[in-house]
Structure 1
Amino acid sequence: MTRQPDAPRHVVASTADADTVVRRLTRDGWTVREGFALPSATWDVSTDRLVLHGRVTDQDALHLAVLAAARGAGIVAVCDADSPTGRALVDDLSRLGAVHLGPGGAPAPATAESTDAVAELVPEQRALLDRLAAGDTIAAAAAAEFLSLRTANRRIAEARALFGVRTTREAVLAYLRQRRTTE
């Protein structure tokens, strides 16, 4: 399987900066769409060379942008990187790969995480993280894997510790990023 290059991830301060990035990506062969909702039912869209762009002003837009990036789409987000929402966006996107601040800016510092944490996961943890990435709740993932909720929560807590993150969402994003780089 040929590994696709990482999708571009940009957080810019203005619509004009976003237009600059979008024009450059279009010239480079990327398909650009406005909004962060993915048109495809297929989970992995990394081979589609799709870039989604728009404003991120609230948690809903932030979640859609990060989910699209986790599924392999490129992102051009107009957001104040110093606001709480902007910091959360940059932090979450950084777990997936390099994030460029500004239209041609340098990548934001990457978050620290174990580079081979996926290899250290037990099969139950991988299955739970796969189900969480697909949108299941912890309870639904536990039931589907024939685990008690308590055991599922323990396995996910162990995965969070392994990835060096605080939240389950961060663990899922780190898992997706590392799994993609090892495929």
Structure 2
Amino acid sequence: MSDALPLHVVPTGSDADAIVRRCAAAGWKAHRGFALLEPAWDLAERRLVAHGPVADEHTASQAVLAAARGAGVVAVAGGRIALALAADLRRVGPLGLTPGKAEPDDGLELDMEQRALLNRLAAGSTIAAAAEAEFVSLRTANRRIAAARSALGVKTTREAVMIYIKHARS
């Protein structure tokens, strides 16, 4: 996972700081803000992770451009801006991958987005609240949870959450 492009949209600065610290520990260089004045277009070799608040469409477009150029992005955003930014960043790569953070080896055939939703449900969130926290629409969250149920071979979301909890503890 060390070559994963870190793309994150988080609700608080402390969440962003934790991710940036993990990226720095994995060899990425932190860059505050999303305006990258590097002369070269491809920044993948530089291993930069741009981070900061995104409160408007202009800053969101700078963050997406930074990601398209190969920089990691850790954006602090909320509301409609966060939903739009998350959707745009997903066009560049998967959200939520952090360099140095190992993939779970629990034997479950779930992707990181399904795990994130199941984790929030296990913590007591409703599907709507989990969707909002993960910056996806309710329809997308329901589709991902349905795919997780199918992958786990169960009929109900409750059963899927119970299996997820059981495997997460072992």
Match of 2:27, SS? Answer: coil
Q: How does 1:114-133 map to 2 (within 5 A)?
A: none
- Which structure 1 residue ranges, 4+ long, deviate > 2 Å from structure 2? 106-109
Q: How does 1:49-128 map to 2 (within 5 A)?
A: 49-80=47-78, 83-100=79-96, 107-108=112-113
Looking at structure 1, the residues matched to 56 and 68 of structure 2 have their Cα atoms a distance apart, in angstroms, of 18
RMSD: 2.3
2:32 to 31, 34, 38: 34
Unaligned stretches of 5+ residues in structure 1: 110-183
Change (3 A) 1:56 1:48: same
Q: How many residues align?
A: 102
Looking at structure 1, the residues matched to 30 and 71 of structure 2 have their Cα atoms a distance apart, in angstroms, of 10
TM-score (normalised: structure 1): 0.51
Residue by residue over 1:122-142, the C-alpha shift from the partner in whole angstroms, topping out at 9 and shown as x without a partner, is xxxxxxxxxxxxxxxxxxxxx
Partner residue, 2:21: 23
Unaligned stretches of 5+ residues in structure 2: 102-110, 115-170
Deviation at 1:47, TM superposition (A): 0.9
Higher relative CO (Cα under 8 Å, sequence separation at least 6) belongs to 2
Looking at structure 2, the residues matched to 49 and 23 of structure 1 have their Cα atoms a distance apart, in angstroms, of 14
Is the contact between residue 36 and residue 68 of structure 1 (CA under 8 Å) also seen in structure 2?
yes
Deviation at 1:108, TM superposition (A): 4.3
Deviation at 1:25, TM superposition (A): 0.7
Match of 1:98, SS? Answer: coil
Percentage identity across aligned positions? 45
Give, as a single letter, the amino acid of the residue that structure 2 aligns with 1:50.
Answer: L
Partner residue, 2:106: none
Residue by residue over 1:35-88, the C-alpha shift from the partner in whole angstroms, topping out at 9 and shown as x without a partner, is 0011312111011100000001100110000000000000000012xx211111
